[in-house]
Structure 1
């Protein structure tokens, strides 16, 4: 245990002092101060017992964003659970509340979709290239079940994983080189948890030992 703690401390110290080492940030929605970092664009969002939820299911492209516009190449991941509805996922390279990419789960068709959102309206968007990714590896997308989504963002290529199984790689004719991350759902009540971003341009923040300690240390250990 002592050696494990020492290793984690060294990892965090390196993240602070060297910009060439990948840093990370985690939102487990247990810390009220960190919860304030999220900016709601539309929809009705609330923090509920360590989970971040959209509770209305009434609007198109409901989303909330966090982070820095200067984030470039990174990996973003989170647990996603559709509570009532059909479509939910993760935003990456968000310029603002209108311009961003999104990979989202499509429950009725058992696939994932890649879209790029543009200025003008929350539902002004175009399909990615490709747009559709049929579920691979016996992945099941069901209401009430958690799926772990992970997106590796590198240059103009975006690679999607669901429950650690690669689903495919996409790109877009609309170019956003850098941007924030976010949570997204379309006319769907959805719960999100354990949002994490890892990348060279990401500043590592201290891990608060009061909040979900085992799960946070588990993530560090896997890396």
Structure 2
């Protein structure tokens, strides 16, 4: 290659580069120019808008005030409030006093050790509490063979309580049993005695009565006799003592009540007196609790 040809090629390359540079410069200039025009138009539009607001501000204020003071063409409807349902009042209930079991014995597991045996030979007979020993005691100066026993249980500070028990008064002449309340000891208490006698001058068949027993002396409380209660089948007796008032029930039926006696507190007890060798009265399901009317 000659020297002249090399010089021509360099000249051509330089010319091409120069042309490309000119084109790029023109494009950049055009872009910035177009942006400047747009910015100028935006500025002119903003200025015109501000002038319109400035010149028409008064008219706009008037229009706004007129609109604010103008009456509404369609007033809002008035609604009647939906009726409120009043929930029914919850009745106030008087709390029920809780029942406290002070003592109970169903004799299924034998005789509980809490029983204090004052007299007699108490045994279990067919799952019930009864006597077995026949003793000779003096009744109205006549010597007779009798089963006789007293069993006591509870707290000497017991005051108001209910005593319940099931009684099996056998159809045999000379069976007597008693529920004892407010027991001080074996010779001072209140006794509800029920007996079955046949041709016995002191009683007529089956009867029950309350006695005040002091120092071993039995005094019948007036107007407390009850006659014709069940014989030869199990029945339920219940005694409620509250303050100085006593109520007596046979099979849940109130049979008598009385008040006025000297003992303010005391234990409970069971008593049997019988001259029947083969069939002696028995007790079952003894419960003492604080259920009161």
Same topology, TM > 0.5: yes
CA RMSD of aligned residues (A): 2.4
Query: Is the CA contact (8 Å cut-off) linking 2:122 and 2:131 kept in structure 1?
Result: yes
Aligned pair count reads: 172
Query: Is the CA contact (8 Å cut-off) linking 1:92 and 1:179 kept in structure 2?
Result: yes
In 2, Cα distance between equivalents of 1:64 and 1:41: 6
In 1, Cα distance between equivalents of 2:148 and 2:256: 23
Task: Pick closer, same or farther for the CA change 1:134–1:82 going to 2, 3 Å.
Answer: closer
Q: What corresponds to 1:71 in structure 2?
A: 158
Q: What corresponds to 2:193 in structure 1?
A: 104
Give the number of the structure whose alpha-carbon radius of gyration is greater: 2
1:176 to 263, 280, 291: 263
Query: Is the CA contact (8 Å cut-off) linking 1:62 and 1:187 kept in structure 2?
Result: no
1:56 aligns with 2:145: no
1:118 aligns with 2:214: yes
Q: Which runs of 4+ in 1 moved over 6 A?
A: none
Is 57-66 or 184-193 further displaced after alignment?
A: 57-66
Task: Pick closer, same or farther for the CA change 1:57–1:73 going to 2, 3 Å.
Answer: farther
In 2, Cα distance between equivalents of 1:102 and 1:87: 12
In 2, Cα distance between equivalents of 1:48 and 1:112: 24
Between Structure 1 and Structure 2, the one with more helix by share is 2
Query: Is the CA contact (8 Å cut-off) linking 1:105 and 1:141 kept in structure 2?
Result: no
2:243 to 139, 155, 158: 155
Unmatched 5+ stretches in structure 1: 1-19, 201-223
Query: In the TM superposition, what is the alpha-carbon distance from 1:60 to its structure 2 partner?
Result: 7.7
Residue aligned with 2:185, SS:
coil
Query: Is the CA contact (8 Å cut-off) linking 1:77 and 1:196 kept in structure 2?
Result: yes
Query: In the TM superposition, what is the alpha-carbon distance from 1:129 to its structure 2 partner?
Result: 3.5
Query: Is the CA contact (8 Å cut-off) linking 1:51 and 1:192 kept in structure 2?
Result: yes
In 2, Cα distance between equivalents of 1:60 and 1:94: 21
In 2, Cα distance between equivalents of 1:153 and 1:196: 14
Report the TM-score, using the length of structure 2 for normalisation: 0.53
Q: What corresponds to 1:194 in structure 2?
A: 285
Q: What corresponds to 1:80 in structure 2?
A: 167
Query: Is the CA contact (8 Å cut-off) linking 1:80 and 1:89 kept in structure 2?
Result: no
In 2, Cα distance between equivalents of 1:197 and 1:65: 12
In 1, Cα distance between equivalents of 2:194 and 2:237: 9
Residue aligned with 1:130, SS:
coil
Unmatched 5+ stretches in structure 2: 1-96, 136-145, 198-203
Between Structure 1 and Structure 2, the one with more strand by share is 1
Query: Is the CA contact (8 Å cut-off) linking 1:81 and 1:145 kept in structure 2?
Result: yes
In 1, Cα distance between equivalents of 2:223 and 2:160: 20
What are the within-5 Å matches in structure 2 for residues 21-36 of structure 1? 21-24=98-101, 25-32=103-110, 35-36=112-113
